[in-house]
Amino acid sequence: MMLKTKKDKKIFVTSPLLPDIEDVYSEIREIFDSKWLTNMGEKHKSLELALKNELKVKNLSLFNNGTIALVTAIKALNLPYGSEVITTPFTFAATPHSIVWNGLKPVFCDIEPNTMTIDPNKIEELITPNTSAILGVHVYGFPCDVEAIQKIADKHGLKVIYDAAHCFSTEINGRGIGTFGNISAFSFHATKLFNTIEGGALTYNDDSLDRKIYNLRNFGIRNEEVVEEVGINGKMNEFQAAFGLLNLKIYRKEQEKRQKLKELYDNKLSKIKGIRIPKIPDNVTNSYQYYPIIIEDDYPISRNEIYDRFKEENIFTRKYFYPACTDYDCYKNDLSVKLAKLPVTNNLKNKVLCLPYYGSLEKETAEYIIYKLQNGMN
């Protein structure tokens, strides 16, 4: 089997969801007419309201990107300076970096083998008198065990933050994913299912966090004469918000296409010896953000060899999340990182491969990817 397009076209792990360009022009025209480009304008207000409903959350604050949102979430909880935050090493760099940017210490906990999220059974042994919070990541859109984590947090008086970058629109038993824990941070980066080019949001149930988060996002400025807090500039601009309003109208269609692609991949790939497909729990709606597969030891070649062979054919799969955060130069020499027991992470980081996964991926390309995997990449 040959892929017709393989020589002249690069196939990436994702392709951004783009609204109709004519609709974008008309949004830009409105922004030009209004001469209001940023600082919580009309588009910003509309998107905040629309997303609050879409994500079924009580409070939502937009941000200029997911990382600044996460940094601000941690800051808003007033955790004691230098305290420890238990988190996962199986995530994007932004997660532990946000902890460190707050003057706190990430303590890495191993993950659960199916959902690849922080393993609640391994959290308690890491709690010390210096622990202040747990930061879980709903990685690839698989939710953390939110109930078990909340129980541990309540027992030990800890705050809970969720990095929800991968699970736009996910619900657990009909409840918006952004309503669990104290605060959740979403990313609306171009590579995310729902994107505002760059962007993000915080969601939270506690109304009293509203003023704090508003301040932290806007230099701490309350009005022309009052600066209440040492805030940062986390504001989303009107162009980003307009892009989001348009993508909000079309992301469900994109999810439907990805659902079909998932069915195609699932049907064929689940029958291949040596390939495991992690399963999303039945009570959870899928965000359709990533399509990770696990290359087990009984597959004829390794995950890295598969990655290299696809690359030779202009198909760029991704090894999210290899290296694990505990392998980064900036973390690996810390004594607690050296001593951390992370067998599941260290196994899975060498086995996960994210396949191209987006609505406009041609069926022929998906079938070619399947065919190659069925034939040991020969």
CA distance 85 to 130: 9
Residue by residue, what is the 3-state secondary structure of 214-283?
HHHHECCEEECCEECCCCCECCCCHHHHHHHHHHHHHHHHHHHHHHHHHHHHHHHHCCCCCEECCCCCCC
Q: Does 187 bind ligand T4K (CB under 6 A)?
A: yes
CA 159 from centroid of its chain's CA atoms: 20
Q: Which stretch, 60-68, 144-152, 201-209, 292-300, contacts ligand T4K (CB under 6 A)?
A: 60-68
Cα–Cα distance list, 302 to 1, 25, 159, 296, 330 (Å): 22, 47, 40, 8, 28
Q: Does 66 bind ligand T4K (CB under 6 A)?
A: yes
Q: Does 15 bind ligand T4K (CB under 6 A)?
A: yes
Q: Does 51 bind ligand T4K (CB under 6 A)?
A: no
Interface residue with ligand T4K among 91, 184, 196, 287 (CB under 6 A) is 91
Q: Print the binding letters for residues 200-239 with ligand T4K: x by CB under 6 A, - otherwise.
A: x---------------------------------------
Asked if 192 is an active-site residue, the reply is yes
Nearest 10 degrees: Cα torsion 45, 46, 52, 55: -130
Catalytic, out of 43, 52, 159, 192? 192
Q: Tokens 């420890």 map to which residue?
A: 84
Q: Least distance in Å: CB of 196 to ligand T4K?
A: 9
Q: Does 65 bind ligand T4K (CB under 6 A)?
A: yes
Which backbone phi and psi does 103 adopt, to 5 degrees?
A: 70, 25
Q: Does 189 bind ligand T4K (CB under 6 A)?
A: yes
Q: Does 241 bind ligand T4K (CB under 6 A)?
A: no
Q: Tokens 């690069």 map to which residue?
A: 10
Catalytic residues: 192
Kindly list the residues in this chain that would bind ligand T4K in the complex (CB under 6 A): 12-16, 65-67, 70, 91-92, 94-95, 137, 163, 165-166, 187, 189-191, 200, 316, 320
